[in-house]
Amino acid sequence: MLDAILMSLTLSQQIDTAAAAVESRVIATRRDIHQHPELGNRETRTSKLVADRLRELKIEVRTPVAHTGVVGILKGGKPGGAVALRADMDALPVVEQVDVPFKSTVRTTYNGQEVGVMHACGHDAHVAILLGVAEVLAGMREQLPGTIVFLFQPAEEGAPEGEEGGAELMVKEGALDNPKVGAVFGLHVTSRFPVGEIAYRPGSMMAAVDSFVIKVHGRQTHGAYPWLGVDPIVVASQIVLGLQTIPSRQLDSSLAPSIVTVGAIHGGVRNNIIPDEVEMIGTIRSLDAKMREEIHSRIKRTAEEIAKSGGATADVAITTGYPITYNDPALTERMAPVLSRVAAGNAQVVNAVLGAEDFSFYQQKVPGLFFWVGTRPKNQTAEEAASNHSPKFFVDESGLLLGVRALANLAVEYLSGAR
């Protein structure tokens, strides 16, 4: 009887009806994964859960990809193109402080240190949502015009030291090939927006992220006689201040915001010894590709010249990280009505943010659209709600259904227009 009713509906109506039917399973899956979090490149239990569920749905499974990643391939009953949908699986080294029955008590070793583990960024919700999408679309496969590739990706938060991982490795190992996908869609739950809202932005939506190490070399001497040496601590302090003038005074901030942050300074062993060396580490965030290159060169020049002026020297090493999360403008414009429809008009264009996402590696290969799904309880303000990466981060599970409907509708809409 249900099959007959579904067949009389449009594809969008079928998706919404089927999504409502799987909502309780999506929530149960999310709670299971939340209670058993795993760090990047170590998502073995999560990976098995995903692969087993996809096989139950008679979806082709490829694993392992990028260590613990899973790729599912659902071939529709009608000819057409291919589209990819992505969910990230890894948790964070955070001790959970949310009082829920399925609270994580997991502990493990991270970079040689014992840590708690928590899904403090909502990746458990992402996996549960995408498994819900897989179930919805597998149930209507004969009507699908093309192929849907499900990307369950490890290590979005970064691979362990000395390992490759994440979206970059997924792409490298062919996750977007065979079949070659024409577009990729992804989402992220957030406490910045309440349940029922979707937020997105065409073009640069999230920042490129790079890291730097600056070593300032002075000359060690007694703290009472600084003129007999070169003080790298004072020079490093001047460099910190100089770096702040790069985004605030040297770049066109009306074009795009950027940030240069020094996160740690290490130097010296006691109060009366001026050391030989100081090391600084920090992060760079940028939303414009040309500006990104400019910041790199200006950091090097600023550190080296300030050091030189104080009689010291500075070695600057910059490591590139995730690219800019860039929503293809044409694809975004085409899909904006879908987001608006599934969110009942509560889809909004928002400002870019200086957080980063490795979804950007997929977008470098094919056009992509990444968007936020609100999971903040409606009785909380954004200021009251704990942010992603907080030990108190909380997901209102009533917001997961919108994620399922959004991804499933985007995939079908894209394939319907790609024929």
The string of pLDDT tens digits covering residues 19-39 is: 999 999 999 999 999 999 999
CA–CA separation, 59 and 56 (whole Å): 8
Residue 181 Cα distances to 62, 74, 216, 259, angstroms: 16, 12, 47, 34
Considering only CA atoms, which of 14, 419, 395 is closest in space to residue 187? 395
Nearest to 62 by CA among 54, 133, 260: 54
Q: CA 198 to CA 387: how far, in whole Å?
A: 17
Sequence-distant (≥ 6) Cβ neighbours of residue 97 within 8 angstroms: 391, 392
Confidence category of residue 417, pLDDT binned at 50, 70, 90: confident
139 falls in which pLDDT band (50, 70, 90)? very high
Q: Which of 38, 135, 168, 397 is catalytic?
A: 397
Q: Give the global pTM.
A: 0.94
Identified catalytic residue from 322, 326, 362, 414: 322
Q: Using CA atoms, how far apart are residues 217 and 235, in angstroms rounded to an integer?
A: 9
What is the DSSP annotation of 277-316? EEEEEEEEEES-HHHHHHHHHHHHHHHHHHHHHTT-EEEE
DSSP string, 303-351: HHHHHHHTT-EEEEEEEE----EEE-HHHHHHHHHHHHHHTTT-EEE--
pLDDT of residue 8: 62
In terms of Cβ atoms closer than 10 Å to its own Cβ (0-12, 13-18, 19+), residue 322 is buried
What contacts 342, CB < 8 A, 6 or more positions away? 16, 198, 402, 405, 406, 409
Joined together, the tokens standing for residue 316 give: 């600057």
Q: How confident is the model at residue 76 (pLDDT cuts 50, 70, 90)?
A: very high
Q: Reply yes or no on whether 362 is catalytic.
A: no
| Spatial contact of 83 and 414, defined as CB atoms under 8 Å apart | yes
What does the pLDDT read at residue 112?
A: 86
Q: What is the model's pLDDT at position 9?
A: 82
Whether residue 419 is predicted with pLDDT greater than 50 in this model: the reply is no
Mean pLDDT of the region 122-139: 98
Summarize the confidence of residues 40-57 as an average pLDDT.
98
With vertex at residue 63, the alpha carbon angle to CA 153 and CA 206, rounded to the nearest 5 degrees, is 15
Asked if pLDDT for residue 271 goes beyond 60, the answer is yes
pLDDT digits (tens, 9 = 90+) for 322-373: 999 999 999 999 999 999 999 999 999 999 999 999 999 999 999 999 999 9
* Architecture category of domain 208-320 in CATH: 2-Layer Sandwich (3.30)
Question: Which of 279, 278, 269, 280 shows the shortest CA–CA distance to 223?
Answer: 269
Where do the domains of the chain lie?
2-205+325-418, 208-320
- Exposed / middle / buried, residue 345 (Cβ in 10 Å: 0-12, 13-18, 19+): exposed
Is the predicted pLDDT of residue 80 greater than 50, yes or no? Answer: yes
225 is catalytic: no
Tokens linked to 190: 């957030």
Spatial distance between the Cα atoms of 251 and 254, rounded to a whole number of angstroms: 9
Percent of the chain having pLDDT more than 90?
96
Would you say residue 2 has pLDDT above 90? no
Looking at CATH, the fold of the domain delimited by 2-205+325-418 is given as Aminopeptidase (3.40.630)
